[in-house]
Structure 1
Amino acid sequence: MTQLVHHPAYLFITLIVLLSVAAALGAIGLQRAIPLSDEARDNYNVVQGATLTLLALLIGFTLSMAVSRYDQRKNYEEEEANAIGTQYLRVELLGEPRAAKVKALLRDYVLLRIDYYKTRDARELEIINGKTADLQGQLWANVRDAAIAQPTPIAALVVGGMNDVINTQGYTQAAWLNRIPVSAWTLMIAIAFFSNLMQGYGVRGESGRRVLLFVLPITVSLSLSLIADIDSPRGGLIRVVPQNLISLQQSFPTN
């Protein structure tokens, strides 16, 4: 299930098949095995309405969760770019040649952070994370050594700025790992299955049955796939573009 919700296209295909089977099972299997009498129609309508309402509430709640996580990833990208840009200016307080060395490391660091947002490959992501940790160690060592050599308020300011750079990267990574729980996905898919099953069970007429077997499963599948797309930082079409980091990288001098 975890790998499925990480790839919205595969999830959409799976849901189309699963929910169409549910609707067909209700329209063909249940109606023949347990015909719905006119006396039970009112009770059926109550249960059907409650089931669809619950599904709608779950979809709306989960969509809100996905959107809030997407906004959080965007906000942390902006904070990360601001922290790096501010630190790039602060390191000038260290004096030469240390300032030039730290600036060069920060330029390389920004390129790595941009690659982090753009990559879809798991192996490449591991390499990027390893290089990021190595660069963070070098950046911290440089400002730490400067603060030890000259323990002044100015050095403390530079150390604090570097701490912000490292912290924002950690916040970003945590936000990208913060996904909708698999248990919520399991519950939604289960309720969607039974909702389509009940829709098929209560349909009347051949024309209505044909429409049901396509419209409702597609509608629900699209809704759940949209949520998965928003909630998937790397597997979906809706992704956080590191526009602030790209703008910062372009503002750096070329030499």
Structure 2
Amino acid sequence: MKHSFLFDLDAKYVVIFLFFAMLLAINIGYRVGVKKTKTDSDNSGILSSLLGLLALILAFTFGMAGSRFENRKASLIDEANCIGTVILRTDTYPDSLKNAFKKDLAVYLNSRIAYFESDRDEEKINAALRESGKTSESLWNRTSLCSKDKDLFLPSNMMIPALNSMFDSATTANMAYNSNVPEPIVYLLLFFSIIISFYIGYSSGFKKKIDRFYILGFCLLTSVVIYITLDLDRPRRGSINTENEMFLFNDLKSSL
């Protein structure tokens, strides 16, 4: 599991710090700008360009976070479908083998659910991965052994590709869950927001006038959008998660 100062820190604390840092930067910029004389040229055009650049970086980062969120949802749906296919194909075996397959699949399914619902408990995550790996090996060994029996060749011939797809989809889902927006981009967004705030304050100071309502709205809305961006990029916590897709995994339990 990924660890870093920014990623380990809760998104709401990051945004609270950003909000007050932006207000402070505006205040400093205003104090610097108010000392300037009117002989300086009006730099409102440059400020508009900087605001446009901030909007571009914000949209780019939000798009990356949204894309990763959609990938996580799609990978969960795909894995649930693959597990469902394997469960259905156990019916092609005799009852004794079918029950053995379903017993292992129940353990495998529970371990996959535990992996996704372990929040940031690294011990639980690793335990779930070990359990699913052990059960995967058991399922594969049983299928390989059955494929050597001419009476079980046909069902095993259908089960082997289904198991391959199930294992591959689990790997894809694990990678999707651990895929995040590169931290340098997030740091760029945070620092650029503060720098832009300084220039907004500077421009207001140059004009000897500051619109507190506009300033507060800018800082608040920027912070809210950045919070949503960070929340999208943190699948194991936050209000935007894949809870709906996890119902698919829980529904599969009724088939076992």
Compute the TM-score of the two structures, normalised by the length of structure 2: 0.88
1:248 to 235, 245, 252: 252
CA distance in 2, matches of 1:187, 1:230: 18
Aligned residue runs from structure 1 range 35-50, under 5 A: 35=36, 37=38, 39-41=40-42, 44-50=43-49
Quick one: which amino acid aligns to residue 247 of structure 1? D
Indicate if the aligned counterparts of 2:114 and 2:128 stay in contact, CA closer than 8 A.
Answer: yes
Aligned residue in 1 for 2:181: 180
Pair 195,137 (structure 1): closer, same or farther in 2 beyond 3 Å: same
SS class of match (2:210): helix
Aligned residue runs from structure 1 range 64-143, under 5 A: 64-120=63-119, 121-143=121-143
Pair 38,145 (structure 1): closer, same or farther in 2 beyond 3 Å: farther
Question: Share of identical aligned residues, percent?
Answer: 21
Aligned residue in 2 for 1:199: 200
Count of aligned pairs: 248
* 1:19 correspondence with 2:18: no
* 1:63 correspondence with 2:65: no
Alpha-carbon offset, residue 116 of structure 1: 2.1
Indicate if the aligned counterparts of 2:87 and 2:255 stay in contact, CA closer than 8 A.
Answer: no
Pair 36,112 (structure 1): closer, same or farther in 2 beyond 3 Å: farther
Indicate if the aligned counterparts of 1:24 and 1:200 stay in contact, CA closer than 8 A.
Answer: yes
Indicate if the aligned counterparts of 2:58 and 2:226 stay in contact, CA closer than 8 A.
Answer: yes
* 1:168 correspondence with 2:172: no
SS class of match (1:208): coil
CA distance in 1, matches of 2:16, 2:143: 52
| Unmatched tracts of structure 1, length 5 or more | none
Aligned residue in 2 for 1:4: 6
Indicate if the aligned counterparts of 2:33 and 2:204 stay in contact, CA closer than 8 A.
Answer: no
| Unmatched tracts of structure 2, length 5 or more | none
Pair 65,171 (structure 1): closer, same or farther in 2 beyond 3 Å: same
Moved more, 196-205 or 82-91: 196-205
SS class of match (2:162): helix
CA distance in 1, matches of 2:37, 2:60: 33
Moved more, 83-92 or 207-216: 207-216
Pair 36,201 (structure 1): closer, same or farther in 2 beyond 3 Å: farther
Alpha-carbon offset, residue 239 of structure 1: 0.4
* 1:214 correspondence with 2:213: no
Compute the TM-score of the two structures, normalised by the length of structure 1: 0.88
